[in-house]
Amino acid sequence: MNFGIVVFPGTNCDRDCYYVIKDILNQPVKFIWHKENDLRGVDCVVLPGGFSYGDYLRSGAIARFSPIMTSVREFADKGGLVIGICNGFQILTEAGLLPGALGRNIGLRFICKYVNLIIERNDTPFTSEFKKGEIVRMPIAHNEGNYYIDDLSKIEKQIVLRYYGENPNGALDNIAGIVNERGNVFGLMPHPERCSEKILGSEDGLRIFKSIVRAL
Amino acid sequence: MMEKVKLIYEGKAKRVYSTTEEDKFIIEFKDTATAFDGLKKAEITGKGEANCFISSKIFELLTIKGVKNHYIKRLSERDMLVRSVKIFPIEVIIRNRVAGSMAKRLGLEEGKVLEKPVLEFCYKSDELHDPMINEDHILALGLAKEEELSTIKEMSLETNRILIEFFKKCNLDLVDMKFEFGKDSEGDIYLADEISPDTCRLWELGTTMSWDKDRFRRDLGDVEEAYREVKERVMNTPIESNARILIRLKPSILDAQGSVILNALKSLGYSEVLEVRVGKLLELKLDRKIDEPERIEKMCKELLANPVMENYEWEWVE
């Protein structure tokens, strides 16, 4: 299982993801600079969190034109696994690889805290280590996590994670993470890489990476 | 892509077609040239294309400068999409120097600079051979209403001011030109027809060397080259323009920032404020050598606005 972590200017969760994949899961992983376009040998692309291009214009709006994104699109079209975390999720929606958009948090504040999430689907390559309906804890850290789509009915079956209990950012239908129709592209606002070791308060995040390893 | 439906008018240099949309016509530019009331006639290869490009660019410039005109966009090398307007049967001629019929009629020397622009009107009538008329004739014949005539005059003078400047940048002296105007179903007046070497006298700046249809009228030779040359110069002259793009959250999306501002205003006592919506204003400075009017639309769709959450509108600003 080879992971490729895409690094944009302003990405800042790339090393956390690298650490989890390499040091905790012992899987081969490399960084891929956004100007590259070669994804050969990669089984799963990670678009990590951060502030690509300073979040200028809209979060993810400019990163999606980086050369690597053309390759990521082709990779996803061929069925390759893509996970976008936080800013990575925003980039995937801007690129049209996932439906909808992420607007400003309803409270207008940057929110950094643990939230409860409910696993709505465990039949995806990203969530097979969970039980359906299970409540898990992961941290969020974002200013634009307010998920929006015109017609919710179009994506109802694609919802993988929902905020449980409290909705921190105003996201429509409590949506915290979705997959594409085919199920091989996953975007989520919570940061699984920040809760992959007991010492950090939760290991729920690790199960997402474990699911991916298991899928391949 | 808009398609031609029916030929509704064929003139000496153009064909006008109806389209699937009632308020739009397609003008096709022909290579045919005529002069002296149709007595002289010829095919000039490339003329239609040159005039289509030149007119498109000039109409775009006029739009940017706020002169209402019928141009919507150029569809191909010879076809232009325009707003369908009802043409006033008046030809407006505006002169900056003495030339052509004015020199002959008044016995003046060609090239004499006029202190202020001279406006002339002709009654468009093939039967009567387009006789020259004055403003009272226009009103007496009911060719236009008084306020329409004054709008037409104002627009003519403004267009002249803008184009003198523009052609100067092309190293051309705008000697005189001919306009046609039309009005839409709302009664709004638009500059129509074309603006090209067929309707303008253009001299090489500082000389009396002609780059327009006079080369054909007066058998000066190199007619095809002249149209091509004017097209080259016009297309290569940048129009500096500014576009203002306004991006707003769709009405269906709750604007949290707007609500906070609304509350702040209310707490300051501005109880008359009912709603606040916050948007983004982008100002673009453009050097437009490229005459593709949809490019700003494309910019908005591709990058500037997110169609899931946002609407956009834009306009040219001075």
DSSP string, B222-267: -HHHHHHHHHHHHHHS-EEEEEEEEEEE-TTS--HHHHHHHHHHHH
For B126, the token pair is 């093939």
Q: Where are the domains of chain B?
A: 6-237, 240-317
The rounded percent of chain B whose pLDDT value lies above 70 is 97
* B309 contact residues in A (CB cutoff 8 A): 101, 103, 148
Q: What confidence score (pLDDT) does residue B285 get?
A: 87
State the number of CA atoms in the 13 A half-sphere of B22 facing the CB.
2
- Among B248, B253, B280, most A C-beta atoms within 10 A, so best to mutate, is B253
Q: What is the mean pLDDT of residues A191-204?
A: 95
Q: What is the mean pLDDT of residues A65-86?
A: 97
A191 flagged as catalytic: yes
Q: What confidence score (pLDDT) does residue A210 get?
A: 97
Of A101, A106, A107, nearest to B306 by CB-CB distance is: A101
Determine the topology of domain B240-317 in CATH: Mth169; Chain: A , (3.30.1280)
* pTM greater than 0.90: no
How many Cβ atoms sit within 10 Å of the Cβ of residue B260?
14
Q: Which residue of A has its CA nearest to B252?
A: A150
Judged by DSSP in three states, B309 sits in coil
A13 flagged as catalytic: no
CB B144 within 8 A of CB B59: no
Interface residue B309 vs chain A (CB under 8 A)? yes
Q: What confidence score (pLDDT) does residue B295 get?
A: 85
Q: Which of A86, A120, A129, A144 is catalytic?
A: A86
Of A57, A106, A150, nearest to B308 by CB-CB distance is: A150
Q: What confidence score (pLDDT) does residue B105 get?
A: 93
CA B36 to chain centre: 26
CB A180 within 8 A of CB A97: yes
pLDDT in tens, B272-286: 999 999 999 999 988
Domain of residue A190 covers: 3-215
Q: Within chain B, how many helices (H) and strands (E) appear?
A: 8, 18
Query: CA A190, CA A145: separation in Å to the nearest integer?
Result: 9
Q: What is the mean pLDDT of residues A147-159?
A: 95
Decide whether B6-237 matches B240-317 in CATH topology.
Answer: no
CATH classification code of B6-237: 3.30.470.20
Per-chain mean pLDDT for chain B: 93
DSSP secondary structure code for residue B18 in this structure: E
Interface residue B254 vs chain A (CB under 8 A)? yes
CB B25 within 8 A of CB B8: yes
A86 flagged as catalytic: yes
pLDDT band at A118 (very low <50, low <70, confident <90, very high): very high
The residue whose two tokens read 């600003």 is B317
Q: What confidence score (pLDDT) does residue A1 get?
A: 85
Question: pLDDT at residue A171 above 80?
Answer: yes
Q: What is the mean pLDDT of residues B10-29?
A: 94
CA distance B258 to chain A (A): 10
Domains held by chain A: number: 1
Q: Which residue of B has its CA nearest to A101?
A: B308
CATH of the domain at A32: 3.40.50.880
Of B257, B260, B308, nearest to A148 by CB-CB distance is: B308
Q: What confidence score (pLDDT) does residue B289 get?
A: 59
Q: Give DSSP secondary structure letters for A35-76.
A: T----TT-SEEEE--B-GGGG-SSTTTTGGGSHHHHHHHHHH
Query: CA A17, CA B216: separation in Å to the nearest integer?
Result: 74
Interface residue A65 vs chain B (CB under 8 A)? yes
Q: Which residue of B has its CA nearest to A107?
A: B256
* A53 contact residues in B (CB cutoff 8 A): none
pLDDT in tens, B218-261: 888 888 999 999 999 999 998 878 889 999 999 988 888 899 89
Query: CA B5, CA B26: separation in Å to the nearest integer?
Result: 9
* B253 contact residues in A (CB cutoff 8 A): 103, 148
pLDDT band at B2 (very low <50, low <70, confident <90, very high): confident
